[in-house]
Amino acid sequence: MRRRLSRALARPLVLAAAVLALSVGPSGPVAADRVVIGGFPVDASESPWTVALSSRDQFGGTRAGQFCGGVAVGRNTVLTAAHCVDEEVLGGPPERVRDLKVIAGRTDLFSDRGGREVAVREIWVNPAYDGVSNVGDFAVLTLAEPLPADSVIGMAVGGDPAYAVGEAATVYGWGDVSGAGEYPNSLRAARVRVLPDALCEEAYPGGEDGVYDARSMLCAGEAKGGRDACQGDSGGPLVAQGRLIGLVSWGIGCGRAGSPGVYTRVSGIMRTLGWAHM
């Protein structure tokens, strides 16, 4: 049986990730030639809008308490996956996580230095989010302090050519680099392609494998597998032509042939929030 996975760093996996990070020490990443899945290291300055969601109280101090990703779409506004702030991930209601922060401008989470840590003032979860189908998987975080203006990325509206099938895109995150619980210290990126909706509809027709909804979801990766987001990358950005087109959401395994990554479609988020003319 295949197992459908959201791509948040589930709480039971935190200890394993912490042990691994301690074993490699602060000198470097777990696997320099691997990715998110199948990618390469990047400096935070290359994608200043990519942020880490952090709670040391819930996830420990190793890797600064990172458990998900996010993306700054306004100086005080960060998008992430709704399931990242679910009680199952956080171990309780999000309003009780007193140290929830976003970390911006920091490449190496193990060093605990560089960039900024900004408290989350308010969390809005899409009320239409369905945790079974993953439809509507997004949340809006309002920050207590503004980020620099150059830390914000523009969003691709519906009909933007950035969504075209075959378009080159890049996904960013600090998640598992192998699909086997290997969590790096430093930010990674993987180059993928926007895939046809029909391919994901065939891969995820419903049932226990999940259902693909083209209005609210976007399919990206490589048909033969090998490049993908993975656990710990949830909520992070998928970028094409310099614009945000998706948020890491779910998939079957990581980097498997025939099981491409599924992202929350940003044009759908904009439509839901009335941001279509931003």
Q: Which fold has domain 42-151?
A: Thrombin, subunit H (2.40.10)
Q: What is the pLDDT of residues 43-58, one digit of tens each?
A: 999 999 999 999 999 9
* pLDDT at 24 (0 to 100): 37
Report the CATH superfamily, name and number, of domain 161-267: Trypsin-like serine proteases (2.40.10.10)
User: Tokens standing for 91?
Assistant: 């171990």
CATH 2.40.10.10 maps onto the chain at 42-151, 161-267
* For residue 26, pLDDT beyond 70: no
- Helix (H/G/I), strand (E/B), else coil: 98: coil
**Contact predicate 220/192, CB 8 Å:** yes
Q: Quote the DSSP letter at residue 107.
A: S
Burial readout 211-240 (b: 16 or more C-beta within 10 A, e: otherwise): bbbeebbbbbbbeebbbbbbbbbbbbbbbb
* pLDDT at 29 (0 to 100): 28
Which residues are tagged catalytic? 83, 137, 234
Query: Which region holds residue 119: left if phi is over 0, alpha if psi is between -120 and 50, else beta?
Result: beta
* For residue 2, pLDDT beyond 90: no
User: Tokens standing for 265?
Assistant: 């479609």
